[in-house]
Amino acid sequence: MEPVVLDCSTLSTREINSVLAELPDGSRARIVEPWGRHNLGVGLTNRIDIEIAGNAGYFIGGLGDGPRVTVDGFVGWSVAENLMSGTVRVRGNASECAAASAHGGTVIIEGDASSRAAISLKGGTVLVGGDVGHMSGFMAQAGTILIGGDAGAALGDSLYETVIYVAGRITSLGSDARVEELTADDVLQVKQLVALAGFDHVDPENVTRVASARELYNFDALKDKGY
């Protein structure tokens, strides 16, 4: 099946998203001349394949519940924000807040991700081939993060049940995040994540596991005052 070609130089964002929303499951679409356009492929619930041929802007693939989106370039803020299901793959770098509040699905950043990657993650899988910036995994509640490069400062600050695997160096851990022993189950999971992402530079047996120390689960600042 030939893809439906949607040209950003002649169509508005609303028009492009309207066409995408009407495509039947199994369809393919190719968005050309994006030139940093924001909000492409948002709020879609159909099982379609979307290729964005170039750099795109903010909120690409946001609120998705089914599509598979591939960006052949870089993206701006909050790619795959609040993703429910499906896949968003970026073949370049991502700006701040990649996969923010994702509940499900898979987000793959083949390059680097900036600060606050996977902030408030609620169940999705976030795979970054390169480095991530500071405060990545902040308040991540569920799901899994794999970082193929280095992690910036305050990794996993206020972490809950999300597990973070880091192949490179960690600048510092955030509040309540700690390094834990890597188990055989962890190695198996990382092997599966690496295969899913298509990374060839991550050794599953040589990653650092970061998880919550669970000291922030209960508010106890007043416990010694008899309240």
pLDDT tens by residue, 137-163:
999 999 999 999 999 999 999 999 999
* Partners of 18 in beta bridges: none
**Backbone dihedral angles phi then psi of residue 163, each to the nearest 5 degrees:** -110, 135
Q: What is the pLDDT of residue 218?
A: 65
Written as one letter, the residue type at 144 is: T
Phi, psi (rounded to 5 degrees) for 128: -115, 125
- pLDDT above 70: residue 220: no
Residue partners of 104: CB distance under 8 A and separation at least 6: 83, 84, 85, 123, 124
Instruction: Report if pTM > 0.75.
Output: yes
Q: How far apart are CA 180 and CA 141, in angstroms?
A: 17
pLDDT tens column, 81-135: 999 999 999 999 999 999 999 999 999 999 999 999 999 999 999 999 999 999 9
Question: Running DSSP on this structure, what letter comes out for residue 65?
Answer: E
- Per-residue pLDDT tens digits for 181-217: 999 999 999 999 999 999 999 999 999 999 999 988 7
